[in-house]
Structure 1
Amino acid sequence: MYLASGWRVGWVVRVLVAAAACALAASCGGPARSAPSARASHSATGSSPTSGVSPPAAEPSPPGPSGASLAPVPPGFVALPDVDPSILTDIRYATAHNFVGRPVAGYRQPRCLLARQAAEALHRVQTAALARGYSLKVYDCYRPQQAVDDFIRWAGDRDQRMKAEFYPEVDKSALFDEGYIGGPTAHSRGSTVDLTLVAAPHGDQPSYPPDRPLVACTAPAGQRFPDNSIDMGTGFDCFDPLAHTAAPGLSTVARDNRALLTRLMATGGFANYPKEWWHYTLGGEPFPRTYFDFPVE
């Protein structure tokens, strides 16, 4: 869950930038509607944010019931199944199976939303993957800024219920300093995905029982949570050096599987973040300096 460095609580200003987002979104297709809510921040190039402070993020809301009506997708964005329904989804932050152990603020539905260009690029990757006997499975797509705020609040509390699985060797107090949690995140720009590969035809994804004993994300594939992914050497969102894409100590199978994912993602123009084997961002993304905050619903 890579979050760009440079964000620190107490000195970053986040604001609504509706007009700029609307102007950008107009070139991305979709009906003419009001622009999605967004917050601007200092970018890597040092651009200044617009004045005005956004209100505090809402507390987490659980996902809506199965079959609930879905909210319209903001202009410039699409729901991934509308572009490629064959790509599997396992949106962990809308569930209790993630490093905070509960649904995360802003994830009201287990839904993958992306900037249209990113979804179309991911479709090209899926075509290449299917030709090799695999399917993509996404864990996270667009992430609202309120979810990042929720992660920051969590990092400052005493809740460590999921430590044994997601950060077994890292003290929670060090997660900021070691770069595992921070902000803003590229996910909030709508062109970054967390994903893996599943052998096709794929087996069922096991459900996550809340009373299941936790097993370290670094444990061998046969011992950790039985994700239907091919073996990538660690579980998703594993806060450990072994999750670095080119980490030493990987099995030959895991190393080859990570390399395959990297090659396939390159066919769609996606580049990997080297500290997380699952994290990819589209080159030439349409909203490179805008961090949106509309909920996933």
Structure 2
Amino acid sequence: MSKPYQSIPISDCGEPLVAIAANSLNAMITIDPHPYVSLQAPYGDRSPFWVRQGILERLQKAQAYLQILHSNWKIALFDAYRPIPVQQFMVDYSFAQLAASKGLDITALTEEQKNALMEEVMKFWAIPSDDPRTPPPHSTGAAIDVTLYEHSPEGMIPVDMGSPIDEISDRSLPNYFASFRNAQAVEFHRHRELLSQVMTHGGFVRHPNEWWHFSYGDQLWAWISHEQLAIYGGVS
């Protein structure tokens, strides 16, 4: 069940991971409490809000551009760095949740059912590989999950993107609402396109299956951008 981008070779540039909270990123917000931490995902001594130094700088550039387009909107960071154990934890959790949503008993699945469920999960989750040649994008510190928030009388509130982050369904596809003509769907697509526009301005590329996932410098970025090398490998 390998991914096409995993064949891209990696020549890590050696850039360090930096904690976003320690960098006075006042123009952005982080989503707290973090949903995976709330599930007790095994992050160890790092929070989810670490990225490579170059990713932080690109995020700042994207947020500055968003401020020009919408002065009262902010990029909200949902998730960034994930150790391999967290990736495995979330794949297992998502598998169990998907099975439950279909009314299936996870302890009594046939091999055919297991394979079908895992195929669905793997459309949206990277393989939790500990092979240095095939790190999950989030384990490189180069991939981030983001959305948009806007200022309201009640404070900063999420902009409706049409589906929640991590939903395992076709609604997660970036252009899912592009062909709809009703006003609400048009608005959802416009919001997704705005997010893509500001992140692209920062140098990021968007995941083909996930409206919220952007990266720069990892294998997925190299594959989408037709680059020969990824510059960010796995970070333990």
Contact 1:246/1:274, CA 8 A, preserved across alignment: no
Separation (CA, whole Å) in 1 of partners of 2:48 and 2:138: 14
CA distance change for structure 1 residues 289 and 125 in 2, over 3 Å: closer, same or farther? closer
What is the match of residue 18 of structure 2?
Answer: 78
Contact 2:63/2:75, CA 8 A, preserved across alignment: yes
Separation (CA, whole Å) in 1 of partners of 2:119 and 2:67: 39
What is the match of residue 56 of structure 2?
Answer: 119
Separation (CA, whole Å) in 2 of partners of 1:75 and 1:43: 21
Please list, as runs of the form range in 1=range in 2, the aligned pairs for 1:19-168 lying within 5 A after superposition. Answer: 43-45=6-8, 76-81=16-21, 82=23, 84-90=25-31, 91-95=34-38, 102-106=39-43, 111-131=48-68, 132-133=70-71, 134-154=73-93, 159-160=96-97
Q: How many residues align?
A: 195
Separation (CA, whole Å) in 2 of partners of 1:110 and 1:204: 25
CA distance change for structure 1 residues 155 and 195 in 2, over 3 Å: closer, same or farther? closer
What is the match of residue 226 of structure 2?
Answer: none
Question: How far does the alpha carbon of each residue in 1:196-237 deviate from its partner, in whole angstroms, 9 at most, with x for none?
Answer: 0111368457xxxxxxxxxxxxxxxxxxxxxx3111010111
CA-based RMSD: 3.4
- Check if 1:237 corresponds to 2:150: no
Separation (CA, whole Å) in 1 of partners of 2:24 and 2:55: 10
Q: Give the CA deviation at 1:109.
A: 6.3
Given candidates 117, 125, 129, the residue that maps to 1:181 is: 125
Separation (CA, whole Å) in 2 of partners of 1:240 and 1:114: 27
Q: Give the CA deviation at 1:128.
A: 1.1
TM-score, normalization by structure 1: 0.56
Separation (CA, whole Å) in 2 of partners of 1:278 and 1:118: 16
Higher mean C-alpha deviation, range 125-134 or range 270-279:
125-134
- Check if 1:191 corresponds to 2:131: no
Contact 1:187/1:193, CA 8 A, preserved across alignment: yes
Contact 1:244/1:276, CA 8 A, preserved across alignment: yes
Unaligned runs of 5+ in 1: 8-41, 48-73, 96-101, 206-227
Question: How far does the alpha carbon of each residue in 1:110-140 deviate from its partner, in whole angstroms, 9 at most, with x for none?
Answer: 5410000000110011111122231010110
What is the match of residue 209 of structure 2?
Answer: 275
Contact 1:137/1:197, CA 8 A, preserved across alignment: yes
Higher mean C-alpha deviation, range 250-259 or range 77-86:
77-86
Structure with higher RCO (Cα < 8 A, 6+ apart): 2
Contact 2:81/2:138, CA 8 A, preserved across alignment: yes
Q: Give the CA deviation at 1:253.
A: 0.4
**Aligned partner of 2:56: which letter?**
A
CA distance change for structure 1 residues 109 and 103 in 2, over 3 Å: closer, same or farther? farther
Identity of aligned residues (%): 20
Q: More helix per residue: 1 or 2?
A: 2
What is the match of residue 176 of structure 2?
Answer: 247
**Aligned partner of 2:25: which letter?**
D
CA distance change for structure 1 residues 287 and 77 in 2, over 3 Å: closer, same or farther? farther
Separation (CA, whole Å) in 2 of partners of 1:278 and 1:203: 24
Runs of 4 or more consecutive aligned structure 1 residues displaced over 6 Å after TM superposition: 284-287
**Aligned partner of 2:76: which letter?**
K
Q: Give the CA deviation at 1:153.
A: 4.2
Contact 1:43/1:289, CA 8 A, preserved across alignment: no
What is the match of residue 6 of structure 1?
Answer: 2
Q: Give the CA deviation at 1:87.
A: 1.1
Unaligned runs of 5+ in 2: 107-112, 128-134, 222-228
